[in-house]
Amino acid sequence: MSERLAVRKTYKLWIGGAFVRSESGRYDEADGFNFPRASRKDVRDAVAAARKAATPWAARTAYNRGQILYRAAEALESRAATMGVPREEVEAAVDVLLHYAGWTDKLHAVLGGVNPVAAPFLSFSLPEPTGVVGIVAPDAPPLLGLVAELAPALAAGNVAVAILSEDKPLPGLDLAEALGVSDVPQGVVNLLSGRRQELATALGAHRDLNAIVDAAGDAGLGADLDGLAAETIKRVRHGDPATTYEDATDDALHRLEAVTELKTAWHPVGA
Q: What is the pLDDT of residue 270?
A: 61
CA 216 – CA 63 distance, rounded (Å)? 31
Q: What is the pLDDT of residue 1?
A: 65
CA 239 – CA 153 distance, rounded (Å)? 14
Separation of CA 107 from chain center: 18
Neighbours of 38 (CB within 10 A): 29
DSSP state for residue 82 in the 8-state scheme: G
CA 267 – CA 237 distance, rounded (Å)? 33
pLDDT in tens, 202-261: 999 999 999 999 999 899 999 999 999 999 889 999 999 999 999 999 989 999 999 998
Q: What is the pLDDT of residue 126?
A: 79
Sequence length of the chain is 271
Neighbours of 141 (CB within 10 A): 25
Q: Which residues of the chain have pLDDT under 70?
A: 1, 270-271
Q: What is the pLDDT of residue 269?
A: 75
Beta strands in 179-258 (DSSP E): 189-192, 211-214, 235-238
Pairing of strands 260-268, 121-129: antiparallel
DSSP state letters, 119-183: SSEEEEEEEEE--EEEEE--SSSTTHHHHHHHHHHHHTT-EEEEEPPSS--HHHHHHHHHHHTSS
**Of the candidates 209, 191, 144, 197, which has an alpha carbon nearest to the alpha carbon of residue 36?**
191
Domain boundaries, the chain: 32-268
32-268 fold: Aldehyde Dehydrogenase; Chain A, domain 1 (3.40.605)
The sign of the CA dihedral 52, 60, 58, 154 is negative
